[in-house]
Amino acid sequence: MNSHRVGFLTSGLAVTVLLFLILPIVIIFPLAFNSSDYLSFPPESLSVRWVREVVTSPGWLASAWLSLRIAVVATVIAIALSLLTAIALVRGNIRFKHGLYALILLPMIVPNIISAIAMYFFFAEVNDFSSVAEISIGHAVLAIPIATIIIASTLQGVDQRLENAAMTLGATRFIAFRRITMPLIAPGIASACIFAFLSSFDELLVAMFMGDRNTQTLPVHIWSSVTFQLDPSIAAVSAILVLISVAALLAANFLTRKPRA
């Protein structure tokens, strides 16, 4: 088999895999613009009825606002801890560094249902936080691994001799890091913020275990709607979430793109 044939098969396989991943998401959009009172594919006719109902519904808007607040708080906590962790792992002389990496990545490796159950019993014993605070902390724990990976990989690409040169000219270590290293790793921090925000905004299980009747994030609201009533408003919300996720990923790709020489 010649190389041209291998390249053609590889490209065909890649396209097939991409279509397999994308098609279930693309189907959401025709369902979101369905004019009927129930989910049906293909839709008989198109309408913005259900999108309008979602963006004007007090229940959906309250859940979206709650998810936004929790995601912002979780992102701030996760980025602050991930930045300190990345600095310690990349610049510090720490023993058993690979073991620490494994511990930090544990929330990413362990299934979310296990993490959610563990957090539920932990906060049930502590019982000092509100449901919103518990969900925010839980989401921050899940976001720390990916944020640490992104910031640490960005920090590894910065030459530490730049900081050393600044300190030889009289700058303290903190000033050298703030004035030199921080601007260089700012795109990585921004990208980590986007992924941490998305991991919190789209998370279901922790919010389901930690929340109560008055604390329903957007994913929990979607899950409840799927369980008790199945109408095209669920597809409309899902389509909006897909657009938000795609926009955030495009922004992260733009921020991490290296300028051409």
**Residues 209-240: tens digit of each pLDDT:** 888 777 888 888 888 877 777 777 888 888 88
CA–CA gap between residue 240 and residue 233 (Å, rounded): 11
Q: How large is the average pLDDT for residues 40-66?
A: 81
Is the confidence at residue 144, as pLDDT, over 80? Answer: yes
Phi, psi of 92, rounded to the nearest 5 degrees: -85, 155
Closest by CA position to 74, among listed 187, 182, 202 = 202
pLDDT at 183: 86
Closest by CA position to 107, among listed 99, 97, 118 = 118
pLDDT at 257: 64
Is the confidence at residue 64, as pLDDT, over 80? Answer: yes
CA–CA gap between residue 49 and residue 138 (Å, rounded): 36
pLDDT at 60: 85
What are the chain's domains? 74-255 (1.10.3720.10)
Q: Specify the amino acid at residue 63.
A: S
pLDDT at 77: 95
pLDDT at 261: 44
Q: Which residues contact 166 (CB under 8 A, 6 or more apart)?
A: 175, 176, 179, 180
Name the average pLDDT for the chain: 82
Is the confidence at residue 44, as pLDDT, over 50? Answer: yes
Is the confidence at residue 81, as pLDDT, over 90? Answer: yes
